[in-house]
Amino acid sequence: MKKQLLVSILISLGFISLFTHTQAQSVTIDPKNTATALINSVSTVRGVIMPNMSEVQRNNSVPLAGAQVFCTNCAAGTGPYSYSGSYWIPMFDTGATAIYAVGQTKQGGIVFYVDATGQHGLVAATADQSTGIAWLNTDYTYTTAVRTGIYGGQYNTELINANQGSGSYAALIAAQYTGSSGFGDWYLPSKDELNLMYQLRATIGGFGAATYWSSTEVPVAAGQATENAYIQNFSSGAPGNGLKSDLYRVRAIRRF
């Protein structure tokens, strides 16, 4: 009873301050009555303004489900957002578009990249698919898997697997990963995607202090075979070239 009384007093003081100098308003507070809202306010001259936050401030917060904020510069649009318990949803968007943030556990893994719309990006698997495997399957060939940028690893992986065929090698075990969520479109990250994973290794989690394969080959002249692909050491952060027959770790990613 004392706790309910204290809550009532504190809320009352907050609303008295909020509505100071207004006219024609009323505030009803009843913590005991579950049939109505805890706070029921009526005013003809002034409303209640929810907390204003930038997109960075909103994404860095640790809200409870149902939290509401007014985002002042969100890529998906300025306006009020409600937290579902997993992601922020524009309150006045009838499509209820999901807005993702780096660090969320969604789409089968940990989100580590989100584009300007807030609706698409990249997730990393939560554990390695191998602690040591070769990049190649049999022979040194030039698969032309030379894309380096964001989303480039998907194209690289398809080229590598088409060239190398069945067996056990880095790109294939990445593509064969399904995880607990059942997604079947994982791939070996490109050079730049792997570097971004290194930068956010603490957010993604589960990385060993070891070297990881990218799907990006070191380019050579047409008709020649290349023996190297790009790698990155997750202890020092140093990128480099690895001999395709060397054994390095694999962490699969997927786009959404």
| Alpha carbons 111 and 254: distance in angstroms, whole number | 10
**Tens digit of each residue's pLDDT (9 = 90 or more) over 106-143:** 999 999 999 999 999 999 999 999 999 999 998 899 99
User: 195 falls in which pLDDT band (50, 70, 90)?
Assistant: very high
Nearest partner of 178 among 170, 187, 169, judged by Cα = 187
Check: pTM over 0.75? Answer yes or no. Answer: no
**Tens digit of each residue's pLDDT (9 = 90 or more) over 35-83:** 556 566 677 666 678 899 898 889 888 888 888 988 898 766 788 888 8
* Least confident residue range of 63-67, 101-105, 157-161: 63-67
**Averaged pLDDT, 208-233:** 92
Cα R_g (the chain), whole angstroms:
26
| Alpha carbons 206 and 104: distance in angstroms, whole number | 15
Give pairs for 137-144: CB < 8 Å, separation 24+: 137/164, 137/165, 137/167, 137/168, 137/169, 137/172, 138/164, 138/167, 139/225, 140/225, 140/226, 140/227, 140/244, 141/225, 141/226, 142/217, 142/220, 142/222, 142/223, 142/224, 142/225, 142/226, 143/217, 144/217
Residues 6+ apart with CB under 8 A from 200: 102, 112
